[in-house]
């Protein structure tokens, strides 16, 4: 089932009506940033907000690099600027390096070579102590400005009120007039803001307010001032930035806000609260205070050398695990037809279940981006809103809706879901109503208390009860099909900017792209496109555990769409004309992998009776694979070893149902590498759920077009994911969201720490750490390994400056090519389209007196 924002249907209906009424008004809103092309204020805002990354609503969690605005700079310089602007640490704490060093995760020979290459000949222990002292000095060199703290608190209060998406029962008045106008009309009633007793005391427009403040400063300072104030609350700024850029957001259409208005309110409040307008000199200090590299902008700090050594140590261990004998994937492995082929998202959690499925028999597994190449806006059968089921770097091109094939089953589901919805709505109104709230608590307290006790003390029993109820409600895929026939005139839903369905040519292209990118030349009797979703209770970050390729939504709908496309006889006929010889007995179906429990639900409505025996065998093998994978996952979350597989299934199901569970699963914690190549490279090795795996066969891609699509799409997105986990680990208070214990969901859009403040932008501590002082996620930048001719990769980098910049600037920590045309020699990217072979690296190490590079250290 697709994830939706938690607004009530009444609020949705009201909002839709207001959208129609306000669309013209919003379009002509006098304070939009496009009103004046290149006027000084517009130019100032455009430049000043570049460094603040976009932030998506929590119900559609999109992973992003929090320093994405700095990707045009080398990594070490960017994190120094990030510290100056946001106050966040850019490298792991020295204690983290010490732990990795003591556990052998940093190879001594690799570290020695890295230090020697940069003229550092001190003992590692002395270096760790030196970094720890510098870190202590950094932590001590922090001063807070009371007036600025008050400004942040007051502004956050107003932003929370204005940007609320249906949670508040008493919404802020006048929001349809825009943020500045609504704030101006209400601020005289705010006791926290002195000196403003009448709205007429304030400028009538946001532009006027900005001019009244900025005119006191030279125009050359405006950008620095605006950047400083945008960076003061990067969560709220990033959220506004994203909402302004999303021209399909109905909340933005109805209740418009712009960066110009936000800045106008902040600077006006700063004057009223006597807070500083200009950034202080303290904001100019760089990272790694006390380091020997301080003040040398082009010289990476000492911590960068330790990080690089850690990453190279991981790379060497990873390369040892890869099968260096694979040259032509078509000739590798068994030649017999597989019993089934299963396509999973490249998500790191897929690596574990894929291994255990392959261990059950003649099964092939493949990796492909989890939206399965279909950029769509999807609306489930009884969903209250549509969602963009594609990565944020891809615009949806089709509107896909689910419609029932069986009206009787649909009526049965409607009856159950309608009853449940009406009950929830009734209780919600009773709890929120000022008059009824207290009598409701008195009358319903005993029942609620019993339910809470049962959910707390016996979550497994509650889970069994919920499963029994769900079994009586037909699943959507059992009676609905996605409507894929092209109809540009169907406006039965609000997404008028997109056509419903797709043309035959578009269907063929999506199927062809999928097969070409994965390098498929043969097809099993059953081909399963397997999306993924998570199951968790009482978790504001639940969408962060769903499919990132589907913008924080489950991937099952995309899998169903591609399966429906591939089963189309007209599509298959055209594919055969294009060289894809799909056997007549091949059946495509969809499934969804529950990454919390490792259960795989098969949507078998398209499977004929002739394939039922194959299907039942697959189901039985998937159950066994689930048990083994669940045991492996459980061992990674506890200190237990040799966990019984069947007991593991029961335990992971309990964790999914337990509302007190802070960590139902690890998500993508631990991610460290992205392997692009045939499954034969990795199929005999356990990569511990740390690798993104994208299927690719260089022999079926003579022009390099498939590899180009992978490097410009999935590689960029996995870099986002990797950097979000990296920064949330190295400084969770700034780039993460702190502990779940003290979080509060706010306005259906995000969380704050305590009772207010900035919108937190990243992952919570519990998603990254085993305990307060024990990280689970190893903060390493992404290691990318590509099985393809080196010249092909070089050519793609040459023609895509944005990808080349990510690698050259160190946002992808390491890029290695395993060249099948050079006997699978490994080549490491040096920057500026230059490479060094593994043999040259080993020779250089010997020349420096290190001996061969050691790969004995284990995680």
Is the pLDDT reported for residue 434 higher than 80? no
Identify the pLDDT of residue 32.
Answer: 44
**Mean pLDDT, rounded, of the chain:** 86
Q: What is the pLDDT of residue 481?
A: 86
- 1: confidence class by pLDDT, cuts 50, 70, 90: very low
Q: How far apart are the first and last CA of the chain?
A: 37
pLDDT of 243 strictly over 70: yes
Q: Give the model's pLDDT for residue 286.
A: 38
pLDDT at residue 3 greater than cutoff 50 = no
How much of the chain, in percent, has pLDDT values that exceed 90? 66
Closest CA to 711 of 652, 788, 821: 788
List Cα–Cα distances, 755 to 154, 168, 581, in angstroms. 12, 15, 60
592 touches 600 (CB < 8 A):
yes
Average pLDDT over residues 723-728: 97
Residue-wise pLDDT tens digits, 802-852: 999 999 999 999 999 999 999 999 999 999 999 999 877 665 655 554 444
pLDDT at 317: 97
Q: What percent of the chain is predicted at pLDDT more than 70?
A: 82
Rg of the chain in Å (alpha carbons): 28
**Going by C-beta distance under 8 Å and a sequence separation of 6 or more, which residues neighbour residue 656?**
463, 535, 536, 537, 594, 596, 597, 664
Report which of residues 347 and 140 the model is more confident about: 347
Question: For 71-75, 537-541, 582-586, 822-826, which range has the lowest pLDDT when averaged over its residues?
Answer: 537-541
Taking the C-alpha atoms of residue 315 and residue 781, their distance in angstroms, rounded to an integer, is: 11
Q: Distance (Å, rounded) from C-alpha 706 to C-alpha 81?
A: 36
What's the mean pLDDT in 664-677? 96
Q: For strand 526-533 and strand 587-594, is the pairing parallel, antiparallel, or unpaired?
A: parallel
Helix (H, G, I), strand (E, B) or coil at 832: coil
pLDDT, tens digit, 9 for 90 and up, residues 186-203: 999 999 999 888 999 999
Q: pTM of this prediction?
A: 0.89
Averaged pLDDT, 15-43: 49
Determine the longest span between alpha carbons in the chain, in angstroms: 82
Say what the pLDDT of residue 195 is.
83
Amino acid 440: pLDDT: 60
Q: Kindly report the CA angle at 365 between 663 and 621, in degrees rounded to 5? A: 75
Q: What angle do CA 288, 289, 291 make, to 5 degrees?
A: 70
Instruction: Using alpha carbons, list the distances in angstroms from residue 168 to 15, 164, 216, 593.
Output: 14, 7, 38, 35
CB burial class (10 A; 0-12, 13-18, 19+) of residue 847?
exposed
Comparing CA positions, the residue from 133, 111, 151, 319 lying closest to residue 814 is 319
What pLDDT, on a 0 to 100 scale, did the predictor assign at position 588? 97
User: Per DSSP, which regions of 523-562 are E strands?
Assistant: 526-533
**What's the average model confidence in pLDDT over 612-630?**
97
- pLDDT digit string (tens) for 541-578? 899 999 999 989 999 999 999 999 999 999 999 999 99
For residue 788, pLDDT over 60 is answered with: yes
- Please compute the mean of the pLDDT values over residues 123-145 and round it to a whole number: 86
C-alpha span between 7 and 75 (Å, rounded): 40
Q: Give me the pLDDT at residue 427, please.
A: 58
- Residue 334: its pLDDT value, please? 53
What's the token pair of residue 844?
């250089």
**pLDDT tens track for 288-323:** 433 433 444 578 999 999 999 999 999 999 999 999
Question: With bands split at pLDDT 50, 70 and 90, how would you rate the model's confidence at 247?
Answer: confident
**What is the rounded distance in angstroms from the CA atom of residue 166 to the CA atom of residue 365?**
42
Give the 3-state secondary structure of residue 104: coil
C-beta pairs of 800-806 under 8 Å, 24+ apart in sequence: 800/708, 800/711, 800/712, 802/712, 802/716, 803/711, 803/712, 803/715, 803/716, 804/833, 805/71, 805/72, 806/71, 806/716, 806/719
pLDDT bin (cut points 50, 70, 90) of residue 165 is very high
């Amino acid at each position: 089932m697709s994830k939706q924002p938690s607004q009530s249907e009444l609020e949705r209906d009201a909002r839709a009506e207001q959208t129609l009424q306000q669309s013209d008004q919003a379009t002509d809103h006098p304070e939009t940033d496009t009103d004046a092309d290149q006027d000084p204020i517009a130019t100032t805002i455009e430049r000043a907000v570049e460094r603040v990354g976009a932030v998506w609503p929590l119900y559609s969690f999109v992973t992003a690099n929090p320093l994405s605005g700095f990707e045009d700079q080398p990594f070490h310089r960017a994190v120094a600027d990030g510290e100056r602007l946001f106050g966040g640490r850019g490298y792991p704490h020295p204690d983290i390096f010490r732990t990795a060093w003591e556990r052998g995760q940093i190879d001594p020979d690799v570290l020695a070579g890295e230090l020697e290459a940069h003229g550092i000949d001190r003992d590692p222990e002395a270096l760790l102590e030196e970094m720890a002292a510098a870190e202590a000095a950094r932590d001590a060199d922090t001063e807070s400005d009371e007036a600025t703290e008050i400004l942040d608190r007051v502004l956050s209060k107003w932003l929370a009120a204005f940007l609320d998406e249906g949670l508040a029962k008493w919404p802020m008045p006048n929001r349809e007039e825009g943020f500045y106008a609504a704030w101006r009309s209400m601020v005289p009633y705010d006791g926290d803001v002195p000196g403003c007793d009448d709205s007429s005391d304030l400028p009538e427009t946001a532009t006027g307010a900005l001019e009244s403040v900025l005119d006191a400063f030279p125009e050359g300072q405006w950008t620095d001032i605006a950047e400083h104030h945008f960076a003061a609350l990067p969560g709220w700024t990033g959220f506004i930035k994203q909402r302004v850029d999303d021209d399909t957001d109905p909340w933005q259409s109805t209740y418009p806000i712009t960066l110009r208005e936000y800045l106008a309110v902040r600077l006006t409040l700063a004057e009223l609260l006597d807070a500083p307008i200009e950034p202080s000199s303290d904001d100019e200090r760089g990272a790694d205070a006390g380091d020997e590299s301080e003040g040398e902008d082009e010289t990476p700090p000492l911590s960068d050398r330790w990080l690089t050594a850690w990453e190279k140590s991981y790379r060497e261990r990873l390369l040892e695990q890869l099968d260096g004998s694979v040259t032509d994937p078509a000739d590798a492995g068994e030649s017999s037809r597989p019993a089934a082929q299963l396509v999973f998202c490249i998500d790191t959690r897929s690596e574990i279940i894929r291994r255990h499925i392959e261990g059950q028999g003649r099964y092939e597994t493949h990796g492909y981006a989890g939206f399965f190449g279909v950029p769509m806006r999807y609306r489930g059968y009884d969903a209250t809103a549509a969602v963009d089921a594609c990565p944020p770097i891809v615009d949806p091109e089709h509107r896909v809706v689910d419609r029932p094939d069986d009206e009787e089953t649909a009526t049965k589901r409607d009856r159950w879901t309608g009853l449940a919805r009406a009950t929830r709505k009734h209780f919600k109104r009773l709890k929120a109503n000022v008059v009824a709230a207290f009598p409701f608590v008195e009358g319903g307290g005993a029942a609620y208390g019993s339910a809470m006790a049962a959910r707390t003390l016996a979550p497994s029993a509650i889970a069994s009860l919920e499963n029994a109820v769900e079994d009586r409600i037909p699943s959507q895929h059992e009676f609905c099909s996605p409507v894929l026939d092209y109809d540009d005139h169907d406006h039965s839903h609000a997404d008028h900017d997109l056509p419903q369905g797709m043309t035959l040519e578009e269907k063929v292209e999506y199927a062809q792209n999928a097969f070409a990118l994965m390098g498929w030349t043969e097809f099993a009797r059953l081909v399963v496109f397997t999306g993924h979703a998570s199951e968790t209770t009482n978790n504001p970050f639940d969408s962060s555990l769903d499919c990132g390729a589907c913008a924080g939504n489950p991937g099952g709908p995309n899998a169903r769409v591609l399966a429906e496309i591939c089963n189309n006889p007209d599509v298959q006929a055209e594919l055969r004309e294009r060289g894809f010889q799909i056997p007549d007995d091949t059946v495509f179906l969809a499934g969804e992998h529950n990454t919390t429990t490792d259960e795989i639900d098969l949507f078998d409505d398209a499977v004929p009776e002739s394939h039922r025996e194959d299907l039942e065998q697959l189901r039985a093998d998937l159950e066994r694979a689930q048990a083994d994978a669940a045991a492996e996952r459980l061992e990674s979350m506890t200190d237990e070893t040799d966990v019984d597989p069947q007991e593991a299934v029961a335990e992971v199901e309990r964790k999914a149902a337990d509302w007190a569970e802070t960590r139902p699963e690890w998500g993508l914690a631990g991610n460290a590498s992205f392997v692009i190549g045939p499954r034969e490279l990795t199929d005999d090795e356990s990569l511990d759920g740390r690798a993104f795996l994208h299927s690719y066969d260089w022999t079926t891609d003579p022009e390099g077009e498939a590899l180009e699509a992978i490097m410009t799409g999935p590689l960029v997105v996995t870099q986002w994911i990797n950097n979000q986990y990296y920064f949330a680990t190295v400084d969770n208070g700034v780039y993460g969201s702190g502990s779940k214990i003290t979080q509060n969901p706010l306005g259906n859009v995000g969380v704050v720490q305590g009772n207010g403040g900035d919108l937190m932008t990243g992952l919570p501590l519990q998603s990254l750490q085993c305990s307060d002082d024990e990280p689970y996620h190893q903060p390493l930048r992404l290691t990318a390994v590509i099985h393809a001719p080196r010249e092909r990769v070089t050519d793609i980098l040459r023609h895509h400056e944005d990808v080349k910049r990510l690698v050259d600037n160190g946002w992808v920590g390491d890029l290695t090519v395993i060249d099948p045309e050079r006997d699978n020699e490994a080549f490491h990217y040096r920057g500026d389209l230059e490479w060094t072979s593994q043999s040259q690296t080993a020779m250089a190490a010997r020349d420096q007196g290190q001996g061969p590079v050691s790969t004995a250290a284990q995680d």
